[in-house]
Structure 1
Amino acid sequence: MRRIIIPAGAMPAAEIEIPYSEQGEYTLFYAANRYIVVDSVGNCSTGIPDEMKLLEVLLTGKTGKHVIFAADEITGYEITDATEEDVLLFMRPKKLLEIASARWAEETAGISVNGLKIKTDRESQAMITGAALQEIDDPTYSCQWKTEGGFVTLVADEIKAVAKAVRAHVQACFDKEAVLIAQVEAVTTEEELNLIKW
């Protein structure tokens, strides 16, 4: 949270909490005997009769603030910085989504097995698993497999090799994601968080 602290004076003293975000526009009003924050600046309103616009401000990140308008009634106000904890509470979920997206992209990008370009999207993973199960049931099993270069005949040992390679690739992607998630959960500063990359 960031806070707008208003000392007692023409207006009642108050501490108004504003959720942390990378960038936000806020207008502070006094209406119906209370402070109200609207997530906008310019031509915005509370819709309450006799509202008084007190402050229009742009808040960016942990410390950035730019006051567009401040009414005379709130001289002496203060806008606090966000804490490191506030920043991390906001940034961690974004970093986790970034990591999951990168894992998905790598997981489904395909691999090369013995010179064959094998797809690794979820449907292809299921299909090669099915072929491998058939190979276990029938060691003489072979099939036509469509690679990015066209159809090839895979015999039992080749089916097994492809299935094992695909499984190893997919698991490696998830293992890497698990390590990075642990790192994200362990960081104590935004700078440390920003250093974590796929």
Structure 2
Amino acid sequence: MKKLLPLFSLSILFISGWANASLISGLGEVNSSFYINDNTDAGWLRGWVFKVNIEDVWVSQLGLHTPSADASEFTINLWDLASNSVIASTNASDSSDGWEWFDIAPVTLLNGNEYFVSLFSPTDAPYYFSFDQSTMPDGDIEYIETRYCNSCNSNSNPSNAINNANYGLVDIAYQVIPSSSNPIPEPSTLLLLTLGLGFISRRQRHH
């Protein structure tokens, strides 16, 4: 059994090292430029379109920050606008006065593509908004516009848009991981690893 330990140890260190790397958020902290809109109707959706300007962006969490802090229920979606499809989604609740983050299966965002991250509330929960351009990222993740709809549903991809505004405070948490450090093996690699472990295990039982 000793021959298995180095292989298992390498795999565990490789995966845990990636999982424990620092996450970057697109928006950062809420500052004094944000106001509260508490005059809302049930079934609102707010979010922002952004462009990716760097290779190897891995999103592993979706987050929200609302002023309710009363365990209100929300849905967060991440859309790929090139395919007009949801590539990540999570049910969420805001139970504290700060960012709440929710793990998702990691997804890769492509350099040059545009995405839309949206926050949906089935109730009339309040939300933050700001017109301060300093709250809109312009680096590796570049703010394009805010989109919104009222009396809609969680799977809406609205066409209503506002420039230079930040409504709803929904965000992504990501890492920049070079392709050479890809934490998710290719299917062929997984197959070879599985076959190799099985072969070693059988040999151990015969000795």
Larger radius of gyration: 1
Structure 2-normalised TM-score?
Answer: 0.28
Higher relative contact order (CA 8 A, sep 6+): 2
Structure 1-normalised TM-score?
Answer: 0.29
